[in-house]
Amino acid sequence: MTLYLRSRRAPAALAVAVAGWAAVWAAWPLLSSERDVEGPVVVLTVLLLVCAASATLGSPDVGLDRTAALRWPWRRLVHVLVASGVLVGLLALTLASGARFGPFGVVARDVAGLVGLAALGAAVLGGDRAWFLPLGWTLPVVAGAVPDAGRAEVGRVLTWQLQEGHDRASAVTAAVLALAGAAAYARLGPARRDDTGRAS
C-alpha cells in the first residue's frame, strides 16, 4: 500500500494540497471579515486541491503497470474515491473553524465533478496532463468568461462550479463528469504519453 502511494507521488501531492489549503484558510481571515469564504475562492481552492491530487493519477511506467496481474480497474476506482474523500474531508474540516469553505453540498459537488474531469484527463491525456481539463474549464468560468451565469440552463451548466448548492443543472453536470471520469479512468487507466527524453 505504501509502495503504491509512493509510486503515485502521493506524499508530495498531499503536501502541496495541504499547503495550498492551509494557505488559503489562514489568509482568509486577514482579507475578509466574513466567516464564510466567498464562492469563487472556494472554487479556486477546490481546483488547486484537485490539480494537486491529479498528480497522483499518473504512473511512472504505464507500460509496466499494464503487464501486472493486479486488478487495476478496482484499484483505480478506489484511488479516485479515496482522493475525492480526502479532499472533501480536508475542506469539511474548515466548517468548524473561522474560515468556512462551504456550503458542504457545493464543496462536495465541485470536488466530485472536478476529480471526475481530472480522471478523464488522466485517461485521455496522461497523468502529467490530467489537470488540463479541470483547470481549462474552471479558470475561464471563475474569471468571468461566461456572463449571465445564473439564468439560462446552458449558462448554469457551463458555470456549474459557481452555482448554488440547490441548483439541479449544476449538480447533474457534476455527477455526469464524476461518473464518466471515474469510469474512463478505471477502465482505461492513465494514457500512455511517452515524452520523457531519457534513453536507457
Partner 1 sequence: MRRVLVAELRRSAAPGAGVLVLAAGFLLGYGDGGAGSGGWMSLAVVQSFGLVLMWPVALAAGAWQARREHRTGVLELVATTGRPGLQRVLPVCLAMGTTVVGAYGALAVLTALLDGTGGYLPPGALVILALGAVWLAGGVWLGLALGRLLPSVVTPPALAVAGLGLLIGLQSLPVGARWVAMLASPAMPLAVQGVHDHDFLELSGRLDVAHGLLGVAVAVTAVVLLAAGSRRARAAALLPVLLGAGLAVGLAPRDGSPGVDGVVAGVGVDRVAQELVCTPDSPQVCVARVHADLLPTITAPARDVLRGLARLTPAPTRAEEDVTPHWVHAPGPGGRPDTVTFTVFSGNRGLGPDAVASRMAAQVGTGAWAGCSAPFAALDAADAWLRGHEPPAADPERPDVARVHQLWQVLRGLPDRVALQRVSAVRVAALGCAHDLDRVLAG
Partner 2 sequence: MTRVWNRMGAVDLAPTTHPWTVEAAGLRVRAGRHLAVDGLDLRLGPGVHGLLGPNGAGKTTLMRALATVLRPAGGDLTLLGHDGRRGGDLRRVRRRLGYLPQAFGYYPRFTVREFVEYVAWLKELPSADVPQAVQRALDRVDLAPRAGYRMRTLSGGMLRRAGIAQAIVNDPDLLLLDEPTVGLDPEQRLDFRGLLREVGVDACVLVSTHLVEDVAAACTDVAVMEAGRLVWQGTPGELAAAGAAGDPGDTAIERGYSAVLRAHRGGSAR
Distance (Å, whole) CA 15 – CA 129: 19
Distance (Å, whole) CA 171 – CA 173: 5
Asked if residue 199 binds partner 2 (CB under 8 A), the reply is yes
Asked if residue 196 binds partner 1 (CB under 8 A), the reply is yes
Asked if residue 25 binds partner 1 (CB under 8 A), the reply is no
3-state secondary structure of 74: helix
- Residues numbered 46 to 65 that lie near partner 1 (CB under 8 A) are 47-48, 51-52, 55, 58
Given candidates 16, 77, 175, 188, which one binds partner 1 under the rule CB under 8 A?
A: 16
Distance (Å, whole) CA 49 – CA 47: 5
Given candidates 10, 87, 120, 128, which one binds partner 1 under the rule CB under 8 A?
A: 128
3-state secondary structure of 9: coil
From the list partner 1, partner 2, none, partner contacted by residue 200 (C-beta under 5 to 8 A by kind): partner 2
Given candidates 44, 91, 122, 178, which one binds partner 1 under the rule CB under 8 A?
A: 44
Asked if residue 154 binds partner 1 (CB under 8 A), the reply is no
From the list partner 2, partner 1, none, partner contacted by residue 88 (C-beta under 5 to 8 A by kind): none
DSSP per-residue letters across 93-146: HGGGSSSB---HHHHHHHHHHHHHHHHHHHHHH-GGGTTHHHHHHHHHHHHT-S
Asked if residue 31 binds partner 1 (CB under 8 A), the reply is yes
